């Protein structure tokens, strides 16, 4: 994410789970999965894994207060959530500070018991939660047990979706909470669906959000994750209902895509399911060509063989057999025709007049380049007519028609990538020869050919081509699979370029 506007900051106030699946760890992962900037105030340090909670060390409330003030004094927090708050003193501390920040949406996950069964909030603290903190909530996200505990109902008394709706309405009414989400995951109805109830106080409406009931062991930290996702959604500007619905869907997918971590009964969900990793970086002043550098890096052995090809080396030293060079020039004259057609196809496939013009430039470039071939051949008595009547070799057919086929089957980017090894490789190979061999150029009949590609004019065409591709790629930022397709196309045409020079070297007229 290379953001043009800074991602909104979201804060979690919760316990730490060393196992990384719940608590502030789950929250920070969820914030990142929603492209937000995560902050955290730690209320307790737990030593736990997927099997058990081994110990809980509450953080003294003055330390909670210092963390909270440090964050709120400096960074504009767009939404926050609370998770495990450990004891009455921490709850009171958070509530006291939050009264001065009531404009920040606050999602309260009233954590009382871990998925593993470990008690995380003492009974006395529940009173403080009710009196001090719940009235400050924007969104409250209890499961059935938590709703029952807060409403002082008997355990197991909420047994239907209708009763969940009654409880949600009652919780919102009693504490003045705009949105209460009663989570139905623990409802034993034997059905295939999980129904969560979202009560919206301003409309006095319950919305039922239905998701599949997933038979999974990866449910550790789902409560943390949901409240964090809702906070992140609110921070990015979603309305209450959308934030709840998207949050529920995110958690559901995180369960469905989870992989096994640890050996315990309840593993973590997959927080990262929304994310894909770029395989190359954005361009910067210091590294302006990340994509084409990536392509070259991915095919480095091939690329090295190509730009150091014997054909170019022999041309550089003047040791190349003349009939091989003439054969090459004749075939390359035909090649240029089809490369110009490919450039015209690129113009056809372009969206903007700028891009159309850039490809038309390449068409003209091919026409200009062909006069070099005619001039070089003329000195050995070969006429334009002979050039035009030369039979196209199968190597030449293979290379050019492969490019055109990629252009017809793929989109503009793929076509340009197919055309690119020729452009970049000639520029690179010629520049290298020119730099290495400047002193021995005098009597070399192939030297004008090297110079034509090493000179500033051709090098600026190479630069321009590179810029067009880099811009196209930055606009799209191709996904991994698309990138693999482009790498294949680049490698294929680089290999065909090598074969083109091979076949010239192997020519026996």
Q: Does 184 bind a copy of itself (CB under 8 A)?
A: no
Please report, for residues 71, 146, 225, 284, 434, the alpha-carbon distance to residue 183 in angstroms, rounded to integers and kept in the order given: 30, 10, 13, 46, 72
Within 471-500, the residues that bind a copy of itself by CB under 8 A are 475-482
Q: Does 48 bind a copy of itself (CB under 8 A)?
A: yes
Let me know: does 183 contact 196? Beta carbons within 8 Å: yes
User: Catalytic: 29?
Assistant: no
Least distance between a copy of itself and beta carbon 445 (Å): 41
Handedness of CA 9, 12, 13, 17 (dihedral sign): negative
| Position among 105, 142, 221, 264 found at the interface with a copy of itself (CB under 8 A) | 264
What stretch of H or E contains 48? strand 37-48
252 vs 395 by CB, closer to a copy of itself: 252
| Position among 22, 49, 428, 458 found at the interface with a copy of itself (CB under 8 A) | 49
| Position among 277, 379, 381, 456 found at the interface with a copy of itself (CB under 8 A) | 277
Among 82, 45, 417, 106, residue whose Cα is nearest residue 235 = 106
Least distance between a copy of itself and beta carbon 371 (Å): 32
Least distance between a copy of itself and beta carbon 168 (Å): 24
Candidate list 219, 225, 292, 489, residue with the active-site label: 219
User: Catalytic: 183?
Assistant: yes
Candidate list 185, 211, 223, 465, residue with the active-site label: 223
**Interface segment toward a copy of itself; rule CB under 8 A; list 24-32, 369-377, 455-463, 494-502:** 24-32
Candidate list 36, 46, 50, 222, residue with the active-site label: 222
| Position among 89, 96, 257, 491 found at the interface with a copy of itself (CB under 8 A) | 257
215 phi and psi angles, rounded to 5 deg: -80, 95
d(CA 282, CA 290): 7
d(CA 335, CA 322): 19
Least distance between a copy of itself and beta carbon 509 (Å): 38
Q: Does 393 bind a copy of itself (CB under 8 A)?
A: no
62 vs 448 by CB, closer to a copy of itself: 62
Q: Does 215 bind a copy of itself (CB under 8 A)?
A: no
Q: Does 54 bind a copy of itself (CB under 8 A)?
A: yes
**Interface segment toward a copy of itself; rule CB under 8 A; list 138-146, 201-209, 272-280, 360-368:** 272-280
| Position among 412, 422, 452, 504 found at the interface with a copy of itself (CB under 8 A) | 412
Give the length of the chain.
509
Least distance between a copy of itself and beta carbon 207 (Å): 17
Residue ranges of alpha helices (H) inside 176-212 are: none
Strand pairing of 53-58 and 37-48?
antiparallel
Q: Does 100 bind a copy of itself (CB under 8 A)?
A: no
| Position among 60, 117, 156, 288 found at the interface with a copy of itself (CB under 8 A) | 60
Query: CA angle, 348 as apex, 345 and 354 as ends, to 5°?
Result: 115
| Position among 89, 116, 274, 499 found at the interface with a copy of itself (CB under 8 A) | 274
Chain centroid to CA 127: how far?
Answer: 44
User: Catalytic: 224?
Assistant: yes
168 vs 232 by CB, closer to a copy of itself: 232
107 phi and psi angles, rounded to 5 deg: -100, 125
Q: Does 281 bind a copy of itself (CB under 8 A)?
A: yes
User: Catalytic: 381?
Assistant: no
Q: Does 326 bind a copy of itself (CB under 8 A)?
A: no
Q: Does 263 bind a copy of itself (CB under 8 A)?
A: yes
Q: Does 273 bind a copy of itself (CB under 8 A)?
A: yes
d(CA 234, CA 213): 26
Within 342-361, the residues that bind a copy of itself by CB under 8 A are 348-349, 351
Let me know: does 43 contact 125? Beta carbons within 8 Å: no
Helix, coil or strand: residue 192: coil
| Encoded tokens for 59 | 């953080």
Query: CA angle, 301 as apex, 297 and 306 as ends, to 5°?
Result: 100
Among 180, 247, 194, residue whose Cα is nearest residue 34 = 247
13 phi and psi angles, rounded to 5 deg: -120, 105
| Position among 123, 242, 409, 440 found at the interface with a copy of itself (CB under 8 A) | 409
CB atoms inside a 10 Å sphere around CB 152: 8
Helix, coil or strand: residue 106: strand
Least distance between a copy of itself and beta carbon 277 (Å): 5
Let me know: does 164 contact 184? Beta carbons within 8 Å: yes
| Position among 97, 207, 261, 363 found at the interface with a copy of itself (CB under 8 A) | 261
| Position among 83, 105, 211, 421 found at the interface with a copy of itself (CB under 8 A) | 211
Q: Does 270 bind a copy of itself (CB under 8 A)?
A: yes
Least distance between a copy of itself and beta carbon 339 (Å): 19
Please report, for residues 60, 109, 140, the alpha-carbon distance to residue 44 in angstroms, rounded to integers and kept in the order given: 9, 15, 21
Helix, coil or strand: residue 410: coil
Q: Does 55 bind a copy of itself (CB under 8 A)?
A: yes
Known catalytic residues?
183, 219, 221-224
């Amino acid at each position: 994410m290379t953001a043009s506007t800074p991602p909104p900051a979201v804060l979690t106030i919760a316990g730490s789970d060393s196992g990384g699946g719940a608590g502030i760890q789950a929250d920070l992962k969820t914030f990142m999965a929603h492209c937000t900037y995560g902050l955290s105030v730690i209320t307790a340090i737990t030593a736990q894994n997927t099997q058990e909670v081994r110990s809980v060390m509450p953080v003294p409330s003055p330390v909670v207060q210092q963390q909270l003030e440090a964050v709120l004094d400096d960074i504009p927090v767009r939404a926050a959530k609370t998770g495990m708050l450990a004891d009455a003193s921490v709850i009171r501390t958070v509530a006291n500070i939050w009264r001065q920040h009531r404009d920040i949406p606050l999602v309260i996950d009233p954590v009382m018991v871990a998925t593993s069964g470990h008690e995380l909030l003492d009974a006395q603290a529940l009173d403080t939660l009710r009196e001090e903190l719940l009235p400050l909530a924007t969104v409250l996200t209890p499961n059935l047990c938590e709703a029952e505990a807060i409403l002082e109902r008997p355990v197991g008394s909420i047994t239907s979706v209708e009763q969940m709706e009654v409880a949600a309405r009652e919780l919102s009414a009693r504490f003045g909470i705009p949105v209460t989400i009663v989570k139905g995951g623990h409802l034993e109805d034997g059905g295939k669906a999980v129904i969560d109830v979202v009560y919206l106080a301003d409309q006095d409406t319950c919305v039922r959000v239905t998701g599949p009931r997933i038979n999974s062991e990866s449910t550790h930290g789902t409560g943390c994750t949901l409240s964090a996702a809702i906070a992140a959604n609110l921070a990015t500007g979603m309305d209450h209902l959308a934030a709840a619905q998207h949050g529920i869907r995110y958690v559901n997918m995180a369960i469905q895509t989870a992989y096994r971590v640890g050996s315990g009964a309840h593993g973590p969900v997959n927080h990262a399911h929304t994310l894909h990793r770029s395989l190359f970086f954005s361009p910067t002043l210091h590294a302006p060509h990340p994509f084409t550098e990536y392509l070259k890096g991915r095919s480095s052995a091939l690329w090295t063989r190509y730009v150091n090809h014997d054909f170019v080396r022999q041309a550089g030293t003047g040791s190349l057999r003349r009939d091989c060079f003439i054969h090459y020039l004749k075939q390359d004259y035909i090649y240029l025709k089809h490369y110009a057609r490919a450039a015209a196809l690129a113009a056809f496939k372009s969206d903007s007049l700028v891009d159309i013009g850039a490809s038309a430039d390449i068409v003209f470039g091919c026409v200009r380049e062909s006069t070099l071939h005619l001039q070089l051949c003329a000195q050995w008595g070969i006429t334009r007519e002979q050039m035009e009547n030369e039979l196209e070799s199968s190597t030449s057919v293979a290379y050019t028609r492969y490019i055109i086929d990629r252009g017809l089957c793929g989109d503009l980017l793929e076509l340009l990538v197919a055309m690119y090894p020729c452009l970049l490789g000639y520029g690179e190979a010629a520049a290298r020869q020119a730099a290495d061999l400047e002193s021995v150029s005098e009597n070399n009949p192939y030297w004008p050919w090297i110079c034509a590609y090493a000179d500033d004019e051709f090098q600026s065409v190479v630069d321009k081509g590179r810029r067009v591709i880099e811009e196209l790629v930055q606009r799209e930022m191709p996904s991994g699979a698309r990138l693999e397709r482009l790498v294949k196309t680049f490698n294929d045409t680089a290999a065909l370029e090598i074969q083109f020079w091979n076949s010239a070297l192997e020519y026996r007229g």
